[in-house]
Structure 1
Amino acid sequence: MACLTISIEKGRFSYGFASCAGKRASMEDFYETRVDDVDGETVGLFGVFDGHGGARAAEYVKKHLFSNLIKHPKFMTDTKAAIAETFNHTDSEFLKADSSHTRDAGSTASTAILVGGRLVVANVGDSRAVVSKGGKAIAVSRDHKPDQTDERQRIEEAGGFVMWAGTWRVGGVLAVSRAFGDKLLKQYVVADPEIKEEVVDSSLEFLILASDGLWDVVTNDEAVAMVKPIEDPEQAAKGLLQEASQRGSADNITVVIVRFLDGTTTSAGDGPSEEVAKDQSEEAAKDQSS
């Protein structure tokens, strides 16, 4: 685990993360936190990827999604279009790379990109993004479940079906209606992200990205209330993980927290330089593989 404070052109933010297998025998959650320089501007990229059917899809998305995104020619000029195209391109590339496997693997993706004073959240599946804005908990993503009216309609119009099998499932198999991978259900289980944007201003306090191992047992309001008094985002992430575990979460649990500091202004000398920030981010990324 790691906690960094980064200085960027239009604001300051710190981030931390915590991740554990919980009660599961295997770990299928992955996360990514990185800071990159794109066209002379510092960009923060954060993601939580919850795998199912094994870790293959989640690990692939962690490794490739953000690298593909920052290379997209429209990333700085039309970020939302770049995100939508990159999600689908990365999904297609994973399906090609995974074609030799007979067993399906898939992954959610709850992502947040800090670029140009904006927070752009893109989500596929049932990991979730929640912000604290003006002291209130606001979900900035929607869990993609097969029994939602529009999702069921989309699936049925594509020739699929939704049925109850312990919970609502696509084809009686999958409990999420959007995901990376899942080649046998790909006609119905798409990787099209829903995208929302927030301005990073003094009312935006922090962001929580987490897999459903947290959200199964902790509400949005509870999570925001727990994080609010804890300045260190790593400690806040650890606190949410421990709370979910104590409440009996049966799943892998991964939490990423981004805290926005002092609105949209920054003073000289706050935080490390961009070069140092990149080095720190690279070191933090190594923690997950160790």
Structure 2
Amino acid sequence: MRIRPFRYNPSPEISVIEYASTLCCFLILILVITTGNFECLSCNMGYLNSVLQSSSQVHAEYGPVSGGGLSQNGKFSYGYASSPGKRSSMEDFYETRIDGVDGEIVGLFGVFDGHGGARAAEYVKQNLFSNLIRHPKFISDTKSAIADAYNHTDSEFLKSENNQNRDAGSTASTAILVGDRLLVANVGDSRAVICRGGNAFAVSRDHKPDQSDERQRIEDAGGFVMWAGTWRVGGVLAVSRAFGDRLLKQYVVADPEIQEEKIDSSLEFLILASDGLWDVVSNEVWESSHLTGTPESWRLWQW
């Protein structure tokens, strides 16, 4: 069931994260490309975890978690949180990696939302960034390296699934920092939202079957889109791009859309989150909450 989106109004009584965790399963990762906000991130991680624990309505195999980190060179910090909501299991995964490649400090961040089981999301978490870093053109032609890594990871996962009866899949929303460059790539409906100068906007596009270009691509490949509670590929899948989904692979591709963002003083933070959060929180919530990195603004989120 998809929950009607709403516009959250910051309130001292309840935070965005606390409200969302009572309604839905979600995973969120916030990246701050500066050192100034790390203290606010780290000091509030413990509180966020307690909020998630108290907000969970049922026992979950994968309970609420939160954490964060800071790059060794102090250039960027990040925080993450997940909640199974009312679900008994969790199919969302995240990955963060800070590494050195050819003399460059690189940061890799991803949110992976599984469907049909957790296998695809877990496989992508474990392999996508390793495949990307090993790509011979990772530094010299990062965009093509990202596209190749997405498709190679998808191909290798499908090979590993030959003997499986169920057909698992996963979305992906990733942010890759290479030197002074920030690249955002996605397949599916796990969204990336950026905030510049107090204004929040999506830097990724949700891949849905009813989008005219996606529908045309699917039909050109011999598939169809039909309404079954929502628009679905073959009447089954509600996203038009994903890892896995072997039975629909001819139509549901893992080709990422890639955007490059300028890193400057106007860039405040980047958010990657699964659709569970965006189903109940609009993009503009980040703007309306004035999340500027001050202690006052972070308290709106109870971090």
Could you state the TM-score of these two structures normalised by the residue count of structure 1? 0.78
Identity, in percent, stands at 73
Question: Which residue of the partner structure matches residue 238 of structure 2?
Answer: 175
1:210 and 2:273 correspond:
yes
Which of 238, 257, 282 is equivalent to 1:194? 257
AA paired with 1:153?
Q
| Deviation of the 1:43 alpha carbon | 0.4
Question: Which residue of the partner structure matches residue 148 of structure 2?
Answer: 85
SS at match of 2:76: strand
Matched ranges for 1:1-290 at <5 A:
1-8=66-73, 12-226=75-289, 228-231=291-294, 239=302
* Cα distance in 2 between the residues matched to 1:224 and 1:17: 19
Q: Is the 8 A contact 2:198 2:292 kept in 1?
A: no
Q: Is the 8 A contact 1:5 1:14 kept in 2?
A: yes
* Cα distance in 1 between the residues matched to 2:300 and 2:255: 28
SS at match of 1:83: helix
- CA RMSD, 1 decimal: 1.8
AA paired with 2:177?
L
* Cα distance in 1 between the residues matched to 2:265 and 2:288: 18
| Deviation of the 1:225 alpha carbon | 3.5
Task: Encode CA deviations 1:158-195: one digit per residue, 9 max, x unaligned.
Answer: 00000000000000000000000000000000000000
| Deviation of the 1:94 alpha carbon | 0.2
Do the aligned partners of residues 236 and 90 (structure 1) sit closer, same or farther apart at CA in structure 2, a change above 3 Å counting? farther
Do the aligned partners of residues 38 and 217 (structure 1) sit closer, same or farther apart at CA in structure 2, a change above 3 Å counting? same
Q: Is the 8 A contact 1:226 1:236 kept in 2?
A: no
Do the aligned partners of residues 225 and 43 (structure 1) sit closer, same or farther apart at CA in structure 2, a change above 3 Å counting? farther
| Deviation of the 1:226 alpha carbon | 3.3
Task: Encode CA deviations 1:78-97: one digit per residue, 9 max, x unaligned.
Answer: 00000001100000000001
| Deviation of the 1:137 alpha carbon | 0.7
Unaligned runs of 5+ in 2: 1-65
* Cα distance in 2 between the residues matched to 1:142 and 1:207: 15
* Cα distance in 2 between the residues matched to 1:62 and 1:179: 14
* Cα distance in 1 between the residues matched to 2:246 and 2:302: 36
Q: Is the 8 A contact 1:227 1:236 kept in 2?
A: no
| Deviation of the 1:223 alpha carbon | 2.9
SS at match of 2:138: coil
Q: Is the 8 A contact 1:230 1:236 kept in 2?
A: no
* Cα distance in 2 between the residues matched to 1:68 and 1:84: 11
| Deviation of the 1:231 alpha carbon | 4.8
| Deviation of the 1:103 alpha carbon | 1.1
SS at match of 1:132: strand
| Deviation of the 1:124 alpha carbon | 0.3
Q: Is the 8 A contact 1:18 1:238 kept in 2?
A: no
Question: Which residue of the partner structure matches residue 50 of structure 2?
Answer: none
* Cα distance in 1 between the residues matched to 2:150 and 2:287: 28
Which consecutive segments of 4 or more residues in structure 1 shift more than 4 A? 229-232, 235-240
Q: Which of the pair has the greater relative contact order for Cα pairs under 8 Å at 6+ separation?
A: 1
Mean Cα displacement is larger for which, 174-183 or 16-25? Answer: 16-25
Could you state the TM-score of these two structures normalised by the residue count of structure 2? 0.75
Task: Encode CA deviations 1:47-80: one digit per residue, 9 max, x unaligned.
Answer: 0000000000000000000011000000000000
Q: Is the 8 A contact 2:70 2:76 kept in 1?
A: yes
SS at match of 2:155: helix
Task: Encode CA deviations 1:185-237: one digit per residue, 9 max, x unaligned.
Answer: 000000000000011111111000000010001011103433614558xx789
AA paired with 1:107?
S
